[in-house]
Chains A and B, each alone.
Chain A
Amino acid sequence: MDGNFLSKLLDSNDYLTQRDSADHPAVNCPIERWLECATELKDNHGFDLLVDATCIDWFNESPRFSAVYHLFSTTSHQYLRVVVAIPDDENPSVPSVTSLWAAADWHEREAYDMFGVRFENHPDLRRILMWDSYPWHPLRKEFPLAGHDTELPDEEVRKETGTPVIPAPMAGGPFAASKHAGIMSKNEPRGADESWSEEKEKPN
């Protein structure tokens, strides 16, 4: 059924192109036809459930970002993946589909938070997972897993504790000791932190 459905869809909408996929039917959609395509998929093909919407950062390629949507039909139980390449690398933006699927609201906010991709006409586009003043978009490829220095979101607590947001200790990667390992206990990232121990008073 999968292949049949896909070829029909491609025939009736010539702007769509087939996309390589290891499982469900997948199509590429040009960004200027995306809203039209989404409306068509929802109204005429029964894709009433937006299960997931996210982005991929291709980093050194151009176009740098793609928006990836997974649609599901509660009647025919068919999945469809639609990928929209975003041409603008500097200020990526893509039309929002919140008017079609209410579920898109939070998914798009998350994609904005993690990738910095703007969704045009989104009713309330702000960060959802990180705090509002967080300066980076963590899932971009140039952002390191350990993170960057910044400040805690709450000013009062920031002053009281004097604790900034610091990169997580990695020592070569998650769970990997460094190649020039000396004594393991000294190499363990937390081992280096001696801000307070049994000997030293704990800070108040």
Chain B
Amino acid sequence: MSHSDKEITYDSKVEGGVVTSRLDSIINWVRSNSIWPMPMGLACCGIELMAVGASRFDISRFGAEVMRFSPRQSDCMIVAGTVTYKMASAVRRIYDQMAEPKWVIAMGACASTGGMYRSYATMQGVDRILPVDVYVSGCPPRPEALLDALIKLQKKIGTERSAKQLVSA
């Protein structure tokens, strides 16, 4: 819960644990702190993604430790590794199967731009088939970089007009 923006506030004068807030910030607060990633571990970055999930870097500090290999249960696809043209169809299919709202982190140079693999088989950036929210540089990025991307994504989710989208949906 962020204290600085005073969007979610507890007023001690009003008894009974009442919290006043905007609906948007409540929804966004809930969403951003329980991101369930879909670990799309394609190549080397997948190893660093595993390291983020393991003991030293511990992604659960950010509420995102629930790695779900089923797209139906996850909100954020972390594309970790080289997306080849052959794999692109599978990546897109899995993205399509994820329930809204959903976000995408392109982890590493390959997923962001094709990286060092300028060749006939490699898709030059996963953003050609998916809308990407956060790009992470590095080959592979350090685990801290991925955590940073996660925090950035949380901030981005915080600015979304969630209530309106829910009503219109």
Contact = CB atoms under 8 A, between A and B. Distances in A.
A106 to B, nearest CB: 17
A168 interface: yes
Interface residues of A, number: 34
B118 A146 contact: yes
Looking at B85, B89, B128, B132, the one whose CB has the most chain A CB atoms below 10 A away is: B85
Nearest to B89: A154
Nearest to B85: A165
Interface residues of B, number: 23
B101 interface: no
Nearest to A151: B85
Nearest to B93: A157
Interface stretch (B5-13, B119-127, B149-157): B119-127
B88 A170 contact: no
Given A154-B93, A169-B124, A204 B118 contact: no
A168 B119 contact: yes
A103 B124 CA distance: 33
B39 interface: no
B135 to A, nearest CB: 11
Nearest to A138: B120
Given A161-B92, A163-B128, A152 B121 contact: no
Contacts, number: 72
A204 B129 CA distance: 9
Nearest to A143: B120
Contacts of B96: 160
Given A157-B88, A157-B92, A165-B85, A146 B128 contact: no
Contacts of A160: 92, 96
Contacts of B132: 202
B85 A167 contact: no
Contacts of A196: 127
Contacts of B122: 168
B113 A145 contact: no
Contacts of A193: 125
Interface in A131-166: 131, 138, 143-148, 152-154, 156-157, 160-161, 163, 165-166
Contact of B113 (A152, A153, A190, A203): A190
B125 A190 contact: yes
A203 B129 CA distance: 9
A3 interface: no
Interface in B112-147: 113-114, 116-122, 124-125, 127-129, 131-132
A147 to B, nearest CB: 3
B92 A153 contact: no
A131 B90 CA distance: 13
A146 B119 contact: yes
B86 interface: yes
Looking at B96, B114, B129, the one whose CB has the most chain A CB atoms below 10 A away is: B129
Contacts of A143: 120
B129 A163 contact: yes
Looking at B113, B118, B129, the one whose CB has the most chain A CB atoms below 10 A away is: B118
Looking at B117, B122, B124, the one whose CB has the most chain A CB atoms below 10 A away is: B124
A153 B85 contact: yes
B97 to A, nearest CB: 12
A123 interface: no
Contacts of B85: 131, 152-153, 165
9 contacts: A138-B120, A144-B120, A147-B119, A148-B120, A153-B89, A157-B92, A163-B88, A163-B128, A168-B117
